[in-house]
Copies of this chain bind each other. A is one copy, B any other.
Amino acid sequence: MPGRLSQTVRSDARYNREHILDAAREVFAADGLNAPMREVARRAGVGPATLYRHFPTKEILATEAFAGQMRTCETIVDDGLANPDPWQGFCSVIERICELHARDRGFTAAFTSAFPHAVDFTERRERTLKSVAKLARKAKRSGHLRQDFVLDDLILVLMANSGIHASSPATRAAASRRFAELVIRAFRTSPL
């Protein structure tokens, strides 16, 4: 008995917390980070106060809501590194990351202009970027990636990709796919 300190989390609290996170994911994906907190609360079926009690600020909410996406990002890069052909791995990273960012309007903003206070988020981000750099080195050695590729180019691509604000998700996805294709072509060694 004396061992447990405050383990008893009330069931409704836990329930609401999950629902808020689900709602946040939906709303942020559809409308971006500018979506009002109220909208998240509404969709979760809770009052604003409850939302703010669980997540004191929008930044914290977004960080937690995007944890999954962040993991996906890491997986994508790890998969790319695991690919026996570094250039193919590099291409798959570009394609899949562009697709991920196109599907979720809020995530790009979170990833590129990263929150100042989300510690473990930026930490993961840095680690992922390091892996990309490693993959890029391999791809350069394989002779398929331009020698003058720099990591900032990837950020550039992500920011640019975020500029694609097509109305329907379908259009957005198509545009993003086309964009990834262009970018890959731009990064491939030219035979000059």
A interface residues, Cβ below 8 angstroms from B: 113, 153, 156, 159-165, 175, 178-179, 182-183, 185-188, 190-191
Contacts A186-B182, A186-B185 given; indicate if A159 touches B163 (C-beta within 8 A): yes
Q: Are B163 and A164 in contact (CB under 8 A)?
A: yes
29 cross-chain CB contacts under 8 A = A113-B165, A153-B178, A153-B182, A156-B164, A156-B175, A156-B179, A156-B182, A159-B163, A159-B164, A159-B165, A159-B175, A160-B160, A160-B161, A160-B164, A160-B179, A161-B163, A162-B163, A163-B163, A163-B164, A182-B183, A182-B186, A182-B187, A183-B186, A185-B185, A185-B186, A185-B190, A186-B186, A188-B190, A191-B191
Task: State the oligomeric state as a number of copies.
Answer: 2
Given the complex, which residues of B lie within 8 Å of A161, measured CB to CB? 160, 163
Residues of B contacting A182 in the complex (Cβ-Cβ under 8 angstroms): 153, 156, 183, 186-187
Q: Are the CB atoms of A178 and B156 closer together than 8 Å? A: yes
* Residue ID in chain B nearest A164 by CB atoms: B159
- Which chain B residue shows the least CB distance to A162? B163
List, in ascending order, chain B residues with CB within 8 A of A159's CB. Answer: 163-165, 175
- A163 and B159 CA atoms in complex are apart in Å by 5
Q: Which of B160, B185, B187, B188 contacts A163 (CB 8 A)?
A: B160
Q: For residue A175, which residues in chain B have a CB less than 8 angstroms away from its CB?
A: 156, 159
A182's nearest neighbour on chain B, judged by CB, is B186
Taking CB atoms, residues of chain B closer than 8 Å to A183 are 182, 186
Minimum CB–CB distance for A101 against chain B, Å: 10
Q: Which of A113, A159, A161 has the most CB of B within 10 A?
A: A159
